[in-house]
Structure formats: C-alpha cells, structure tokens
C-alpha cells in the first residue's frame, strides 16, 4: 500500500511516579543471577502503520498515552 | 498389507492400530486427512471417555429437582420461583501445568461457556486447586501465583464472582497440578436450551472470536509441506483467553435466547468445531454440512483440518431458522460479536465438511460420536506403598498446643485470604456469605431464598482408601451445605486420576466411583454432570486419586444463612453427629511424616444423615448461632477456626477417648447457641474469653491462633 | 429522581449500580452508543472492565458517544458519579483531576475498607456527616490515585478530596490516602470504593446508600429553590 509508514510508539511511566512493575522486575532479575541491574521501568509498545506520520503526536496526546502519568517516544 | 501398517499417521495422532482398523471398517474405506484429524480427537480419552464411560453409568442421576442431567453442556436443577440453576465442574489440568495463567483463565472461560450454553447467566465460580509442596518447590509457588492470577483475571473481568474454592498442597501434584473450575448459572426455566441440532435446512451460525491455530499441537503431523517442522511458533499449544470477548458473547447469547431466536446452542471447547458440530448433530439425530472457508480466521492460510480442530476460545455454535438469521445478526452486531453462517442442518446423519465448495470430509456422525470403543478397566490394588510421605514437621516433643499451631500454619489449613482477595466475590450483588465466613458460599435469590455451594475433595484420603475417601468427599460437601442451612439439590464431579491403563489406577478409579455412588445414593443427591481428567501421572507415579465434588443446595430464608464463627459470649458449644475418627489420612499424620495409609473410619450413613438434618434444621430455625463441620485437622482445628472467625475464645472438655486431632470428614459438627436450644446435643463447652482452652489438652490465646493461621500462606505467596 | 447508569461493552457493576440507585429513585441504563441521556438528573459511570481495560483502564470508554453527552451534562452542572472503572473513565476524560495507576501490590484486591468522609457539604456527601466512617468494599487492580504534588495541595485546600481511606486501610497506595475526589465545581465525583455494593446489610453494609441519597437530596433541593 503506498504511503503507509510503519511507526512505533514507546510509552513509559513518567519519572518520579512510583512504578511497582519496574520495581518487581528489578527485584526478580538478581534472583535469576543477573547482577548490576538498576533503574528498571516497564511501559508499553504500540506498533502501527499510518498514512500521515504527522498525526502521531496528536494520537499519542489524545489516546495512546496519558500525558499526566506517561511519556512517549515516536519512532518512524 | 493391513490398513494400519500402511500408515503410521494415526499412531502419531494417538489412535491405536485396532482403533484405526475399526474406523476403516466403519467407513468402508481409509479416512482422509481431515477425517483422521477429527476422529483422532473425537476418539481421544478427553472427548470419548473411553476408559471411564462404562464406570460413570454407576452414578445415580435422578432427582426430584433435576431438569437436565448428564449429557448436556451443564446439569440443571429447579430452584423454584420459575428459576433454574445450571452448574458443572471441569478440569484444565494439563494446560495449567504448561502455562498456569492462561491455563487457569481459559479453564474458567470454558466452564462459563458450558453454563451459558444452556441459557443460564453465570452467577458464581469456585476454584479447586492442587499443587506440590510450596515450601520446597519454587515451581509450585509459581504455578499457584499464576493460576490464581489467571482465575482472577478471567472471572473478575467478565463480572462473575468467585465465591469459594479449595486449595491443597501435596507432593503427588508436583508434576501434575490440578486446576478444576466450577460455575453456577441462573436462568428463567423458559430460557433453557439444549444442544441438539434440528430442522434440516436450518442455518449453522458460528459466533464469537476469530479462529486461529490455538491448541492444534499434536495434529501438526498432518500439515501440508509448506508448514512443517520448525514452525512451532505457529502452533501455540496454549490457548489465550479474552474475557472481554466472552463478556460480549455471553450477553449476546442470553439476548438471543431471551428473544427465542435459536433452535440450539453449543459451546466450542476441546476439539473445537469438530466436537461441537458432531455433538449437536448426534443429539439431534441429524446431519450437518459446513464450509470451513466461511469461518472467519485470525490469520490467513489455515488448512481445513486446522480449522476443524482449532481450540480458539470464546466461540459458540448455534442453529437458526433461515428467516431469523437477519435478526440474529442484528443482536450480534449490537454486542460487537462476530456471527457467520457457516453451514446448515441436513437429514443425512453425516458430518460433511467442505473447503471452498470441495468436500474434504464426509462421514457418519455416529462414527465420530458413538463408535469409539469403550474399554473395560482391569482394576487391581497396588502391592506396597504407592506414595511417599511428606517432610516431617512435627517433633516428638511437640505439645498439643504446638501441634495445633503448626497445623493452623500448614499450607493445607492456613487462611486463604491472600488468594481470595484476588477474586471479586461481590459483583452481581448476591453474595451473602463471603469466603471464610461460612462453610459454603451463599447467594441470594430474588424470592428471598438462597443458593449454597461448596466444592470439596481430599486426594490423600482417597489414596488411603479410595472407596471411603471418595464417599467422604460427598458427605463433607453435603455437611458444608448443612452448616449454612441448605438442602443439597445436585452434584457435579471431576475425577482427577493417573493412567487408567495401569491396574492400580484402574482400581482407584473403580473404587472411588463406587464410593461416590454409594454416598450419593445414601444422601439422595443426583449427579447431574461432571468431567474426567485421566493420565495425570509423572515418571515418579500417579497423582493422588482426586475426585472433586461440587454440590449446590438451597435454603428457604436467606436471612437465616449460617456462619461458622462463634457469635455470642456465653453460648453453649455442642458436638453433633457420630464422630468415628481416626488419624489415618489426617493432616496430623501428614505433618508427622507418615505416608498415606488406610483404612479410613467407617461411616454410619443413617446417623450421619440425621446429624446433617439436625444442623440444617437448627440453622434454618435460628437456634444455632454458628455451625462448622469437623474436617481436616479434626476437632482442635475446627474449634480454633470457630474462635478465629468469631474473634472470641472457648472453653471445651472432650469426652474420655476423644482424640482432638483425629479426622472423620462429613460426619460431625461444632455448633453453638443458647444452652436451652442445644439440649438434645452433646454439650462440650462454652463460648467466651480470649483463649481456646481444651481441658487437659491445650490452652492458647485466640490472637496466637489467628497469627499462626493467617501467616501460613502469606509467608510463601501469592 | 432519575439516575442514568452508563453501560459500555465490558461494564460489570452496571446492574449493581442500577439496583442500588433504584433503591433511592428511578434508574435506567444509558447505552454507550446512544447520545440520549433520557432526561436523567444524575449519571452514574459504573465499575467493570469497559473495553477490556485495553490500552489503559477507561482510555477507550471516554470516547464513547454517550460520554460526549455526559461531558456536556457535566459542563452544565449535572451530577456525575464515577465508580471504580467509572472514576478511571472520568479522569481519562479530563472531567476529574489526576489519574489511577496500578495498585502498589500489582494485584487485584477485593476487600471491605473503611473510608472517612472529609467534606459533608457536597452533592455526594450531604447525607453524611463530616468525619463519618463508611464501610465500603473495593475491588480493583488499578486504583492508586495520583496527581502531582502541586495539584494534590490544590485539591486539599479546595475541598475536593471527599473521601480518604481510614488510617491503615489504604488498599492500593493512593497518594494521601485519597479514595474519592470531585471537580472544582463539585458536581462530578469519582471514587474507587463501590458504594453500590454497600446498600444492604445482608450483603455486607448499607453505608454506601448515603452517597446515592445525598445525590437525591441535592437534586430535590435544587428543584425546590
């Protein structure tokens, strides 16, 4: 299909907000024998194909992320 | 060359040579690939009950309240007021051992579908779980955590409360965990529907989720060359559940039934389209023709055999008169549920499968459903011990008080709060007795009466003595109902056993079914449905023989539902019922490091029936302020549980010779109430104070009891 | 007094809310795809798993056609009560401040909790007394209330925190033990506990009824003026 651009949106919890999922993962890795792991955060990946990549930021602001509690990063 | 020798495909699909020869004989030719795939599943143990069907005929199925007995998607009993209660228990053991979250979740999803397939709105779920010893097995802790999360995820998301259940830990379940899920549903009697297809010319409509490659696994040997070995990722052996899809499917089906738009309804479970279509046709004595090209797919390129045996979740099959198909599609659209006509009912008595108009399977329905051979078992008890003992936890120096605290703290007896707080037990606003408030869950009905339900089993005791142990499960479950004031209406059971081709397992199975039958006959409780899960065995040996029993009952006045905790200071405490107890098979014996050995105590069924009736009447009449049956852990544990639940102590004196830790499940009760109401019972003590004192045996503060009990499971998760 | 209870695909506690509201006035279902609010005096956005909680709880439900009407209804001063998933939907829709995050325990928790009424002079709490403790169940995985500190200070000083978990009762790690907040105008209220499951001592407690009664009293009072 012409014009379709593949994009990835990475959504992560805003810094400073308690992230118990990240903490749980950070605790679990050493138990499996992996040392030196820190600063773990768990977010979400959204993959999509879009006609107009300029619309991506608005998609993120309105639906894909909640700007109060999440940061997002767009990759095309 | 004989047909069997010319191809080994059938063996890879699990059919024996003689089964294959029988198929060839019945068809008058060799089966094509799609037919072979269908037959391999329909003739599997899971679908055909080859080793258990003959045995199950022993179970009594008649009762005055029975509306639908075994054979339909769920059993149904009449609960008055124009309402019917559907219920069933099913296992999802093997998938849960592979992927506990999705295995347990889809187990719940499947049993929910069985219930709304007969037209009932699911109103409650109970879970019966068994794992290896948590203290020594990280794997068992992992399975426990994820199975509980999976059950919670599915039940909570779909809005059905999980109101009760049971949880056991034994070495014998280490390699083969047990996940049994029971569901209850409510329907106006007119909305009940059967699965028999009818009316040649009627349309076969597939409802719900898209069809993918879920659960195909073993049949991959039939794949065409393009998708061969090395494409394991394309054939997930795990089914993934979507409770949101099922919620929409459920509401859609109930509305279709309310509007009387369906001739029949069947859910798609094991063996997917194949078993649903076969069963519907068989029950109706008709034929079906369907075209797999019309089945909406999740991914392109599924072969016809894959479409026929896919176990993708959240799908139902229904039969609709041609003139009503449009209205059916409208209702489905409203509930965002996919609906696709895929075929029609015929009068040929054959199941005909087309792929883009070309026949890929065409065989008599009877070959799929009726012709699978049923095997006789060759039962013979095992010579010598079959099961190892658990680790010794008690020492010779332990005082009775220390023994009681260790029992309360042990994983089989400790508080299950950390588990049931992960379940929503209040949605739908019917729950009158919450987990651990009473011996059975109690759900209010619109007419002021209530339903009670409990699920029970004890594999270790059945291992000691299969016949008595299985009977005990029925008596204990009925006793739990009596404690809340309920009269049993019907029973569903799941038989979890090892490999039935081994004589000692066949013996366990035969004895257990006999024990269940005897107890059901003695108590007058009909078996309205159930499930069998065999081959739960590891190289180290079989699981404990584990019949799990779920009984539903009814009490006339919801305001008189019983509770288990001591309620009023100064109340007298009485022991009701014969209590022929022994330490064989007890929790004490387990903690003492003894292997499971029998025999189990005999049970005077007349005296026990009378005890159940006395407790039931006392609870209904409001003369008993609390009632609790004496089960695992014996008298001392039962008394402790009553004190903890009531947050009050008790002073008790036991008769000479009565053992505080011996067990006899289903036989006896601890009740409390005003002294003048307990005149006809054996009074053993009084409610009051802040300690449990058993004269000459032990004295412990209720807070110490509570601490031991509430810390037992929390220490090891979830 | 007429309550409208919104029903999304995936709503679970809609029927329970209907029953609870029905004890206090008339109650009707508002289908997610319809824009007709049927002249109700108050809207209840109920608990459950609307749209499967996909993406984020409430993220998709907030865009349902009915929610556009509810937003306008709220802008005009109509009463809107959001319970659990409903609270999440209202936060996503910007009708309430803050957001709901996963419980600190990362687990679903179903438990009877005690909540303290902080302000009893609102449309949702006028049938209660300030300082009164209500016993109401919670059941959720995503109930931890969050807002930046500056916002939390504003909510406190503005009297917008209506319910707080009693000491030791916070089941999810909500900041400042916040169980329920209202908007600046005081006509939209969201809470994680389920008052519709506390309307009958037979099923636990009847403390939740006072929230529905408050709404009725408020509406009745408005009409009389």
Residue C118 near residue C163, CB atoms below 8 Å = yes
State the residue for tokens 């883009």: B356
Q: How many domains does chain B have?
A: 1
CB C44 within 8 Å of CB C2: no
- Considering only CA atoms, which of B627, B171, B123 is closest in space to residue B411? B171
A18: which chain C residues are within 8 Å (Cβ-Cβ)?
A: 101, 104, 144, 173
The values of phi and psi at residue C151, to 5°, are -65, -45
Say if residue A44 is exposed, middle or buried (CB neighbours under 10 Å; 0-12, 13-18, 19+): middle
Nearest CB to A68; choose among C55, C59, C99? C99
pLDDT score, position B227: 42
Nearest to A66 among C99, C102, C147 (CB): C99
d(CA B584, CA B462): 11
DSSP one-letter code for B160: -
The alpha carbon of residue C15 is apart from the nearest alpha carbon of chain B, in Å, by 7
Dihedrals phi, psi of B716, to nearest 5 degrees: -115, 10
CA distance C175 to chain A (A): 10
Domain assignment of residue B364, given as a range: 193-369
Burial class of B179 by CB neighbour count within 10 A (0 to 12, 13 to 18, 19+): buried
Q: In whole angstroms, give the CA distance from residue B300 to residue B305.
A: 14
Residue A64 contacts C where some CB pair is shorter than 8 Å: yes
Pairs of residues, one from chain B and one from chain C, whose beta carbons lie less than 8 Å apart: 81
C-alpha neighbours within 13 Å on the C-beta side of residue B644 = 23
CA B210 from chain center: how many Å?
Answer: 27
Q: A63 with A5: CB under 8 angstroms?
A: no
Q: Residues of C with CB below 8 A from A20's CB?
A: 102-106, 173
DSSP string, A14-36: PTTS--HHHHHHHHHHHHTT--S
Q: Is the pLDDT of residue B630 over 80?
A: yes
The answer, yes or no, to whether residue B515 has pLDDT greater than 50, is: yes
Q: Domain of B275: which CATH number?
A: 3.90.650.10
- For chain A, how many structural domains are there in total? 1
* Token digits of residue B273: 């389209």
What are B332's two structure tokens?
Answer: 């489905």
Distance CA B125, CA B441 (A): 10
Catalytic residue selected from B10, B65, B92, B146: B92
Smallest Cα–Cα separation from B551: which of B468, B444, B439?
B439
Least confident span in B222-236, B620-634, C45-59, C210-224: B222-236
Q: Does residue C146 belong to the interface with chain A, where contact is any CB pair within 8 Å?
A: yes
Q: What is the CATH number of the domain that holds A43?
A: 3.30.1280.10
Cβ contact C63–A24 (<8 Å): no
Element (DSSP H or E) covering residue C110 = strand C109-117
Residue range B241-297, pLDDT digits in tens: 999 999 999 999 999 999 999 999 999 988 999 999 999 999 999 999 999 999 999
For residue A67, report the phi and psi dihedrals to the nearest 5 degrees: -60, -20
C66: tokens are 């009915």
- Extract the tokens encoding B430: 């019917």
Whether residue B229 is predicted with pLDDT greater than 50 in this model: the reply is no
Q: Indicate the residue of A18, A63, A64 with minimum beta-carbon distance to C104.
A: A18
Interfacial residues of B (vs C; Cβ cutoff 8 Å)? 149, 152-153, 156-159, 242-244, 247-248, 335-336, 420-432, 434, 444, 558-559, 718
First to last CA, chain C: 16
SS3 state at B462: helix
Q: Which position has the token pair 């990240």?
A: A22
Give dist(CA B632, CA B616) in Å, integer: 21
Q: How far apart are CA B163 and CA B120, in angstroms?
A: 18
Q: Give residues with Cβ within 8 angstroms of A54, minimum separation 6.
A: none
For testing contact with chain C, the best of A11, A12, A20, A42 (most C CBs within 10 A): A20
How far is residue B123's CA from residue B117's CA, in Å, rounded to a whole number? 14
For chain C, what is the total number of helices (H) and then of strands (E)?
5, 11
Token pair belonging to B2: 């004989």
In CATH, the number for domain C2-224 is 3.40.50.880
Residue C223 has pLDDT above 80, yes or no: no
- Give catalytic status of residue B92 as yes or no: yes
| DSSP H/E element including B402 | helix B400-409
Longest pairwise C-alpha distance within chain C = 48
Confidence grade of residue A1 (pLDDT, cut at 50, 70, 90): low
Which of C194, C188, C199 has its CA nearest to residue C162?
A: C188
Of B422, B427, B429, the CB nearest to C107: B422
For residue C212, what pLDDT is reported? Answer: 98
Q: Least CA distance to C14: which residue of chain B? A: B428
Average pLDDT rounded to a whole number, residues B636-645: 98
Q: Which tens digit of pLDDT belongs to each residue from C206-219?
A: 999 999 999 999 99
From chain C, pick out residues whose CB is under 8 angstroms from the CB of B149. 107
Task: Write down the residue that tokens 């029988």 correspond to.
Answer: B22
Q: Is residue B162 part of a domain?
A: no
The proportion of chain B whose per-residue pLDDT surpasses 90, expressed as a percent, equals 92
Q: What is the pLDDT of residue B90?
A: 96
Q: What's the pLDDT band for A32 if we cut at 50, 70, 90?
A: confident
**B286 vs B263: CA distance, rounded Å:** 13
Residue C197: which of B149, B420, B429 has the nearest Cβ? B429
Q: How does residue C225 score in pLDDT terms, banded at 50, 70 and 90?
A: very low
The domain segmentation of chain C, as residue ranges, is 2-224
Q: Using 50, 70 and 90 to split pLDDT, how confident is the model at C174?
A: very high
Residues 6+ apart with CB under 8 A from C72: none
User: What value does the mean pLDDT take over residues B204-230?
Assistant: 73
HSE-up of C155 (CA within 13 Å, CB side)?
Answer: 27
C108 in contact with B, Cβ within 8 Å: yes
CB A68 within 8 A of CB C59: no
Is residue B79 domain-resident?
no
- Which chain C residue lies closest to B430 (C-alpha atoms)? C203
Residue C111: φ, ψ to 5°: -160, 145
Query: Does residue B100 lie in a domain region?
Result: no
Q: Reply yes or no on whether C194 is catalytic.
A: yes
CA separation for the pair B40, B12 (Å, rounded):
10
Query: Cα separation of B128 and B164, whole Å?
Result: 9
Separation CA C146–CA C148 (nearest Å)? 7
pLDDT per position as a tens digit, B162-174:
999 999 999 999 9
Provide the residue range defining the domain that includes A69.
5-75
**C contact chains, 3+ CB pairs < 8 A:** A, B
Give the Å distances, CA to CA, from B200 to B20, B117, B118, B342.
31, 22, 22, 15
- Mean pLDDT of all residues in C23-33: 97
| Residues C191 and C165: beta-carbon distance below 8 Å | no
**Which chains are adjacent to chain A, needing at least 3 Cβ pairs under 8 Å?**
C
Tell me if C103 and A20 make a contact (CB, 8 A cut-off).
yes
In which residue are the tokens 């508080």 written?
B415
**Left, alpha or beta for B476 (phi > 0: left; psi -120 to 50: alpha)?**
alpha
Q: For residue C92, which residues of chain A lie inside 8 Å, CB to CB?
A: 66
Whether C129 is catalytic is no
Of the residues B46, B65, B171, B677, which is catalytic? B46
Which of B208, B255, B424 to mutate against chain C (most C CBs within 10 Å)? Answer: B424
Burial class (CB in 10 A: 0-12, 13-18, 19+), B355: middle
Q: Round the average pLDDT of chain B to a whole number and report it.
A: 94
| Neighbour-count burial of B198, counting CB atoms closer than 10 A to its CB (0-12 exposed, 13-18 middle, 19+ buried) | middle
């Amino acid at each position: 299909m012409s014009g379709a651009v593949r994009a990835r949106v990475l959504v992560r919890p805003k810094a400073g907000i308690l992230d118990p999922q990240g903490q749980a993962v950070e605790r679990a890795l050493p138990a499996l024998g992996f040392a030196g792991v820190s600063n773990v955060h768990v977010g979400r990946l959204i993959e999509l194909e879009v006609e107009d990549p300029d619309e991506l930021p608005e998609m993120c602001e309105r639906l894909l992320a909640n700007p109060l509690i999440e940061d997002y990063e767009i990759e095309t | 060359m004989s047909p069997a020798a010319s191809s080994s495909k059938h063996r890879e699909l699990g059919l024996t040579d003689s089964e294959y020869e029988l198929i060839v004989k019945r068809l008058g030719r060799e089966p094509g690939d799609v037919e072979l795939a269908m037959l391999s599943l329909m003739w599997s143990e899971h679908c055909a009950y080859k080793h258990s069907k003959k045995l199950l005929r022993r179970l009594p199925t008649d009762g005055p309240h029975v509306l639908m007995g075994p054979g339909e998607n769920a059993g149904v009993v009449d609960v008055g007021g124009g309402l019917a209660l559907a219920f069933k228990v099913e296992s999802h053991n093997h998938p849960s051992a592979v992927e506990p979250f999705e295995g347990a979740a889809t187990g719940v999803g499947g049993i929910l579908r069985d219930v709304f397939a007969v037209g009932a709105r699911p109103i409650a779920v109970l879970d019966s779980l068994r794992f290896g010893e948590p203290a020594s097995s990280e794997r068992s802790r992992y399975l426990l955590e994820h199975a509980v999360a999976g059950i919670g995820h599915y039940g909570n998301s779909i809005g059905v409360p999980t109101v009760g259940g049971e949880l056991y830990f034994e070495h014998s379940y280490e390699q083969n965990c047990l996940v049994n899920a029971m569901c209850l549903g409510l329907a106006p009697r007119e909305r009940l529907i059967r699965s028999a297809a009818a009316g040649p010319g009627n349309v076969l409509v597939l409802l719900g989720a898209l069809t993918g490659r879920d659960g195909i696994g073993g049949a991959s040997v039939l794949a065409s060359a393009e998708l061969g070995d090395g494409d394991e990722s394309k054939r997930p052996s795990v089914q993934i559940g979507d409770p949101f899809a099922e919620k929409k499917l459920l509401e859609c089906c109930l509305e279709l039934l309310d509007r009387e738009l369906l001739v029949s309804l069947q859910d798609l479970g094991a063996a997917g389209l194949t078993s649903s279509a076969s069963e519907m046709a068989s029950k109706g004595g008709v034929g079906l023709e369907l075209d797999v090209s019309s089945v909406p797919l999740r991914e392109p390129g599924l072969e016809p055999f894959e479409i026929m045996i896919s176990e993708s979740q959240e799908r139902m099959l229904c039969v609709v008169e041609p003139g009503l198909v449009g209205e059916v599609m409208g209702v489905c659209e409203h509930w965002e549920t996919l609906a696709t006509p895929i075929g029609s009912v015929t009068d040929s008595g054959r199941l005909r499968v087309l792929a883009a108009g070309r026949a890929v399977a065409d065989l008599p329905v009877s070959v799929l459903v009726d012709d699978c051979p049923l095997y006789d078992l060759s039962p013979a008890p095992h010579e010598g011990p079959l099961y190892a003992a658990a680790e010794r936890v008690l020492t010779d120096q332990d005082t009775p008080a220390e023994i009681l605290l260790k029992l309360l703290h042990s994983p089989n007896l400790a508080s299950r709060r950390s588990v049931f707080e992960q379940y929503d037990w209040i949605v739908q606003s019917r729950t009158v007795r919450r987990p651990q408030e009473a011996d059975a869950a109690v759900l209010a009905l619109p007419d002021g009466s209530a339903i009670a339900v409990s699920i029970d089993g004890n594999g270790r005791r059945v291992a000691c003595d299969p016949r008595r142990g299985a009977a005990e499960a029925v008596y204990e479950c009925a006793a739990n109902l009596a404690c809340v004031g309920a009269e049993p209406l019907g029973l569903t059971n799941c038989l979890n056993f090892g490999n039935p081709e081994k004589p000692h397992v066949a013996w366990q199975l035969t004895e257990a079914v006999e024990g269940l039958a005897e107890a059901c006959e003695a108590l007058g409780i009909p078996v309205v449905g159930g499930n069998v899960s065999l081959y739960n065995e590891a190289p180290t040996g079989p699981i404990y023989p584990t019949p799990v029993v779920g009984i539903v009952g009814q009490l006339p006045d919801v305001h008189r539902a019983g509770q288990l905790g001591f309620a009023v200071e100064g109340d007298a405490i009485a022991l009701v019922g014969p209590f022929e107890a022994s330490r064989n098979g007890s929790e004490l014996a387990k903690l003492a490091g003894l292997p499971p050995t029998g025999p189990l105590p005999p049970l005077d069924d007349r005296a026990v029936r009378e005890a159940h009736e006395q407790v039931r009447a006392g609870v209904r009449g409001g003369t008993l302020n609390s009632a609790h049956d004496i089960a695992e852990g014996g008298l001392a544990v039962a008394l402790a549980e009553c004190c903890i639940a009531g947050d009050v102590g008790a002073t008790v004196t036991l008769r000479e010779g009565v053992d505080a830790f011996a067990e006899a499940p289903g036989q006896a009760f601890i009740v409390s109430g005003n002294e003048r109401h307990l005149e006809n019972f054996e009074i053993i003590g009084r409610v009051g104070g802040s300690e449990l004192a058993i004269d000459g045996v032990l004295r412990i503060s209720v807070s110490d009891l509570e601490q031991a009990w509430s810390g037992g499971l929390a220490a090891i998760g979830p | 007094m007429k309550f409208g209870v919104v029903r999304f695909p995936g709503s679970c506690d809609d029927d329970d809310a209907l029953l609870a509201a029905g004890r206090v006035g008339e109650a009707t279902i508002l289908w997610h795809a319809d824009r007709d609010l049927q002249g109700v005096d108050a809207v209840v956005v109920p608990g459950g798993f609307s749209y499967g909680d996909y993406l984020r709880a409430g993220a998709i439900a907030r865009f349902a056609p009915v929610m556009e009407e509810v937003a306008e209804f709220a802008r005009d001063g109509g009463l809107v009560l959001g319970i659990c998933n409903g609270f999440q939907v209202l936060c996503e829709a910007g009708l309430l401040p803050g957001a709901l995050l996963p419980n600190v325990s990362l687990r679903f928790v179903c438990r009877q909790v005690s909540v303290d009424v902080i302000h009893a002079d609102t449309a949702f709490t006028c049938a209660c007394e300030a300082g009164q403790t209500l016993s109401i169940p919670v059941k959720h995985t995503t109930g931890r209330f969050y807002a930046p500190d500056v916002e939390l200070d504003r909510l406190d000083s503005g009297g917008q925190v209506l319910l707080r978990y009693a000491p030791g009762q916070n089941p999810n790690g909500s900041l400042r033990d916040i169980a329920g907040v209202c908007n600046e105008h005081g006509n939209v209220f969201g809470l994680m506990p389920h008052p519709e499951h506390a309307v009958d001592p037979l099923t636990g407690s009847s403390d939740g009824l006072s929230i529905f009664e408050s709404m009725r009293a408020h509406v009745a009072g408005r009409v009389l003026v």
